A and B are shown apart, each in its own frame.
Chain A
């Protein structure tokens, strides 16, 4: 082996080794990878289009990131957390669909395409013997007499018949479009991919279940901006009350009562809020609540409060 050749081999070997080390180093996750980001990156932000929970700026995504962080802190595995989200918000919360059922198509179709195209390429590459090639050429080529340059053109009545058939086809195309256009009209707008407000509310309820009333109230406010609704407003007032913001709860519930003064839930929250802000007015509000809704689930509790 000439010295020059061995030098070249040495260089190639050194490069190979260095590249392998580089690849290895790059494939192991670095010290700065954040597990919350990894899990959140696999979740789709329900209120956005095409953004993951890790990247989105929306409040829902922020709350979901928070939830991921807490569950991780409780020692749950990423798979468990993903399952938790799927149970609550449906499969499409996952950025990548699970490999089962119809979603298997996502992996089967590319594999099949690769196999089919590869097989076709192999057939093209395989050396063909002339007679085999002629046999493959099909009936059209075999029918053709060697030496005749003229193509097998349909002439006379056949061509004329063909022309009539194809013109009928073109006319039919136009008629089909006309008929279909008359029938379809403007359809009702398609339902949005996922109702962001519903997801926000679900998340807020979860937060309430975890006794994080401040965060829940923020999400209720978010939902109200998109969908002004007395039910949501009342939930906001409840959350504020439990977050020890009696004044805020009173403000929120008064908006509901301004629209429907007889709302029992409204009176209940108002009364409970007043117990903190203006204790003198609370009993009369709560009594009104009891007269309006004597069988309310909270009625017994309120009676006990008033009696004590």
Chain B
């Protein structure tokens, strides 16, 4: 019953998306009225919302005749976990994906942009929506019925049931990924729309900012989730799925910068970066949803691989054909001098593109080498540490240089860098002489000090210049980046770990923290066996009890470690229970001290806050009407 209803909504969505694509093309090519096209877009978003609602209802009502519920639902699963299991497996997450995509399409449809540019962009978005609805309806229908109807299901993957971040991480990531469809569509539409295409950059900015903010927050939450749940105490392993989310973030960041500074001189850069961002989103979807790459959190075993690869190739082809023969507007402004922010932004673009290329080849190399040479090659964190990390430190330095070059060709800008440079050298000297964090961490500390000092100077000089929201947003985001660098460098350089099997009453020690195993308790709750080790942790002059656990989920035959983190102001004490002796007399415990991890999360939050502020600023500016071409920004004051 629910299953048939769901299949019907998917069919309606496929029909609506196809109609929308055709009607928007009519608007663009034949100047037909836009009202029917808008109606088709509305129908599509309603169908997507209905499909998600039906699947959610089936999950909540434990209707195991629906395939997705039979595979991912369970009577023992709590209500919040049941709600989030909509996106805990491939087919359901594809529905959420379509809903977010159609949401963007509906929002874009309401805009009053130049009509031809708008219609072409809507046609592009609708074609993408058509493809994903076709996938859901024809290849990965979660509503297919199951015979015989099972009595109970296994529940979602237990790893996904432990942390509140899991409730918001995937929707945020999708909001980030799919928001990038708008700059992509506008970049493709611009050369088709002739003179109307000139303004596409300004139109794309709020969308890109919204997507970038969501993507930043999503990546940050994902790192937090793997830190708090996976039990090995790390937040980033250069795993293919993590890389897939980083790739579009890198190019979108570069796009935000080149689109802001330099204007028409960077026309080709802007088009290529906008297209690359969404193509990388699609490529990431292919990598993580086709089973091509095994990963901690990839959806494996799916028939969607060839189809998604086809879409990637189609997008690349369209981008090459359209953006490649783009009408490059003659540069009306004289070339900016070498020491200007435009140059800094360009160098930033080069570095970010290189990092993206590095991460991309590292991610796909294992896929490429096996069919070519028959030899399986693994690319570990060591590769990225030697390639991407130095480039990232250079990007951070650049973030410190750029604000000083406020005005084009300002020689005083170089002098403004003296104090930050002195701060960086002092930091390197102090840290390098008092400890041995290793070369990468030391340079990261120096670069962070450089950037933070420069930003502080910028803030300090603000009252005279009346700080605009856009400047404040940039300061926040760049300071966030510097803090992230400090957190990553500090936790990887000064982290300490020990792992031992201890009997009850024995003590583990790392640095000045000690943990004494007090007891091992077992219990069975809600169909899962839970073992908890009670440890008395002493450090920083205080003592508290921490109880890491081990869950065994018989329905999926998996054991899950539930680490416990004791968060201090400057460092986390991280305890994982790895194994327990059968008699309960001893336990294998991993004790880690991770300094500066809190700084990392603060930095991520600051970056997202900066993105949000810039998004608000760009919306307000748009409400005040189009800006004069020479000075693109109206002044928006921050309520002090």
Which A residues have a C-beta under 8 Å from some C-beta of B? 11-12, 15-16, 18-19, 21-23, 25-27, 30, 41-42, 44, 49-52, 55, 57, 90-92, 94-97, 101-103, 105-107, 109-110, 112-114, 117-118, 120-121, 124-128, 130, 133-134, 136-138, 140-141, 149-154, 159-160, 162-163, 166-167, 170-171, 173-174, 176-178, 180-182, 184-187, 189-190, 192-194
Contacts and interface: CB of A to CB of B under 8 A. Distances in A.
Interface in B199-241: 232, 237-239
B552 interface: no
B458 interface: no
Interface stretch (B169-177, B326-334, B543-551): B326-334
11 contacts: A50-B239, A101-B375, A102-B377, A109-B357, A110-B387, A112-B357, A113-B356, A124-B262, A136-B328, A138-B328, A178-B134
Most buried by B among A90, A96, A141: A96
Given A22-B431, A127-B335, A190-B300, A138 B349 contact: no
B354 interface: yes
Interface in B433-471: 433, 436-439, 442-443, 446
Contacts of B387: 107, 110
A106 B334 CA distance: 39
A180 B310 contact: yes
A95 B366 CA distance: 12
A176 B310 contact: yes
Contacts of B328: 136-138, 141
B380 A95 contact: yes
Nearest to A114: B354
A52 B499 CA distance: 15
A57 B360 CA distance: 29
Nearest to B590: A57
A160 B25 CA distance: 10
Interface string B291-334: 10011100011110111001000100000000001011111001
Contacts of B34: none
Interface string B126-160: 01001100110011000000000000000000000
A181 B139 contact: yes
B425 interface: yes
Given A18-B425, A30-B436, A105-B368, 13 more contacts: A21-B432, A25-B432, A91-B375, A97-B383, A101-B375, A117-B354, A120-B350, A126-B335, A127-B334, A137-B328, A137-B329, A166-B25, A189-B291
A49 B295 contact: yes
Contacts of A49: 239, 294-296
Contacts of A19: 424-426, 428-429, 432, 446
Give 10 nearest A-B pairs by CB, closest first: A22-B432, A151-B194, A113-B357, A18-B429, A181-B139, A95-B380, A127-B335, A177-B134, A184-B303, A15-B425
Contacts of A27: 438-439
A92 B377 contact: yes
A130 B130 contact: no
A30 to B, nearest CB: 5
B25 A192 contact: no
Contacts of B346: 121, 124-125
B135 A177 contact: yes
Nearest to B127: A170
Given A18-B425, A26-B437, A97 B294 contact: no
Contacts of A133: 330-331
B30 interface: yes
B502 interface: no
A121 B265 CA distance: 10
Contact of A117 (B130, B303, B349): B349
Most buried by A among B196, B302, B357, B499: B357
B300 to A, nearest CB: 7
Interface of B: 14, 18, 21-22, 25-26, 29-30, 116, 123, 127, 130-131, 134-135, 138-139, 191, 193-196, 232, 237-239, 262, 265-266, 268-269, 291, 294-296, 300-303, 305-307, 310, 314, 325, 327-331, 334-335, 338, 343, 346-347, 349-350, 353-354, 356-358, 360-362, 365-366, 368-369, 372-373, 375-383, 387, 422, 424-426, 428-433, 436-439, 442-443, 446, 499, 578, 588, 590
Contacts of B265: 124
A25 B346 CA distance: 34
Contacts of B21: 170
Chain B contact surface mostly: helix
Contact of B376 (A121, A176, A194): A194
B134 A159 contact: no
Contacts of B262: 124
A190 B301 contact: yes
Contacts of A90: 375-376
A254 B532 CA distance: 36
Contacts of B195: 149-151
Nearest to B325: A138
B598 to A, nearest CB: 22
Contacts of B360: 109
A161 to B, nearest CB: 9
B361 A109 contact: yes
Contacts of B358: 109-110, 113
Contact of A22 (B302, B303, B433): B433
Contacts of A124: 262, 265-266, 268-269, 346
B357 A96 contact: no
Nearest to B131: A173
Contacts of B350: 114, 117-118, 120-121
Contact of B432 (A26, A160, A192): A26
Contact of A26 (B369, B422, B436): B436
A183 B428 CA distance: 60
Given A49-B295, A136-B328, A26 B365 contact: no
A117 B348 CA distance: 11
Given A113-B357, A127-B334, A11 B422 contact: yes
A50 B234 CA distance: 11
B242 to A, nearest CB: 10
Given A19-B428, A51-B232, A125-B343, A170 B116 contact: no
Contact of A102 (B306, B373, B429): B373
Contacts of A12: 422, 425
Contact of A105 (B14, B305, B365): B365
A123 to B, nearest CB: 9
Nearest to B362: A106
A167 B196 CA distance: 23
B367 to A, nearest CB: 11
Nearest to A138: B327
A211 B24 CA distance: 75
Contacts of A107: 387
Given A49-B295, A173-B127, A163 B382 contact: no
A163 B362 contact: no
A50 B297 CA distance: 12
Contacts of A181: 134-135, 138-139, 303, 307
A254 B425 CA distance: 71
A144 to B, nearest CB: 8
Contacts of A101: 369, 373, 375
Nearest to B432: A22
Contacts of B382: 41-42, 95-96
Nearest to A110: B358
Most buried by A among B329, B353, B377, B578: B377
A121 B347 contact: yes
A83 B174 CA distance: 44
Contacts of B437: 26
Contacts of A21: 429, 432-433
Contacts of A126: 335
A12 B423 CA distance: 10
Given A109-B361, A180-B310, A190-B294, A15 B429 contact: yes
Contacts of B379: 96-97, 106
